[in-house]
Amino acid sequence: MANMDPVGHSAACRMCGHQVGAGLEVCEHCGTPVSQRQARKPVGTKPRPGSLTPNDVRVRPGLRQVGGKPPSLANRRSLVIAGASLTAVLALLVIAGAIYFQSASVERRLDDAIAKGNLLTPPGDSAYELYHQLKREGAAPGKLAQFGDKLLPVITARPFRLLKDFADPGSKEPTAGEWEEAQKLLTWASEIKPNDGSLPARASYCSGRIAYIGNRKGEALDWWQRADSQDKSWAVLTNGVGLIYNERRDYASARRYLYEAIRRDPTWAVPYNNIGTSFFFERDYAQAESYYRQCADRAPRWGRPHFWLGDIAMHNQDYARAVQEYESGLGLTEAGATNIDLDKVREKLQHARQMTALQQPISGD
């Protein structure tokens, strides 16, 4: 038979030395296959010098261990824990590397957005969103300060230019969208430089202009009074408050704020015009004319005070003066640059001309 030696006796397993019963093809002790041609030693046969004995190799089914005892349960647990710890360390290194490269990528994109002037657009790749992404991801304060130094002059340039142009008498009113952009940029700037009170004041003023354009005058007043509490030096703020009180016909309160605007900036023409208007509607034409002329002296290229002066001349029946003032105002005013109805001014001019003609003495033959 396959598992017997040439004389039919049982043979010893060539791996563990245990006797393999006749007719078996696999060692019952260690599971080693037994070749039909394998010569097996009968029971009691001493192993050859240098061969392995059952004491040298102890094998259980499914586990082979050469030269010693199988690992203890404690040792196996230690190996498992060590392997798990190594895996955790490797995972942390991978995560840290990913965060580093992600952060480096955001920084490069932010630099690129700043260079291109992509401050609020395009969505998802603007300097505004990338800066705040770095902040959310816990960028070091030094890194944020470095980007803040780059960003501050860039993000304030457009809002400052808008505010300067708007304060220039006779300039065109910016759109609500332009005010919204300026408000967002200035709010961002005040976040980067929180110790500069002029930045949140200007952001609040922009919010007030948005409300004013939307005919939410009460909301505009709240924004401008808040802005005035943030910056006590900017004349534009108190002028805006005075403008709303004029519209509410609270002329005394209006002048209180407008005088403060003049105190803050005596060279700025706009509050002189608004004070003149407060006196005009109180029918104090002499005071009104005085302030309109002071306004015209400070803004010789602004047509608005001349329209008011034309109205005062008409009231005083000085029609020739009215013609002069209306013509001056129309000559200085571009279409679309004011909310004054220029067609109505032209009607007044025509009437003033007619009245002037009637006042001319009729010469004899």
Q: What's residue 101's pLDDT?
A: 39
Residue 45 has pLDDT above 60, yes or no: no
Ranges of each domain in the chain: 1-62, 105-214
Report the mean per-residue pLDDT for the chain: 84
Global pTM? 0.69
Measured CA to CA, the distance from residue 14 to residue 18 in angstroms comes to 8
Least confident window among 48-57, 238-247, 252-261 = 48-57
* Share of the chain residues as helix, strand and coil, in percent rounded to the nearest 5: 60, 5, 35
Measured CA to CA, the distance from residue 173 to residue 196 in angstroms comes to 27
Omega prior to 122 cis, within 30 of 0:
yes
Q: Would you tell me how many other CB atoms lie within 10 Å of the CB of residue 115? A: 11
Least confident window among 37-46, 102-111, 303-312 = 37-46
Give the pLDDT confidence of 167-223 residue by residue, as tens digits: 999 888 899 999 999 999 999 999 999 999 999 999 999 999 999 999 999 999 999
Residue 137 has pLDDT above 80, yes or no: yes
Residue 115 has pLDDT above 90, yes or no: yes
Supply φ then ψ for residue 17, to 5 degrees.
Answer: 90, -10
Q: What's residue 29's pLDDT?
A: 73
Measured CA to CA, the distance from residue 346 to residue 54 in angstroms comes to 123
* Better-scored residue on pLDDT, 88 or 222: 222
Residue 365 has pLDDT above 80, yes or no: no
**CA 68 and chain centroid, separation:** 68
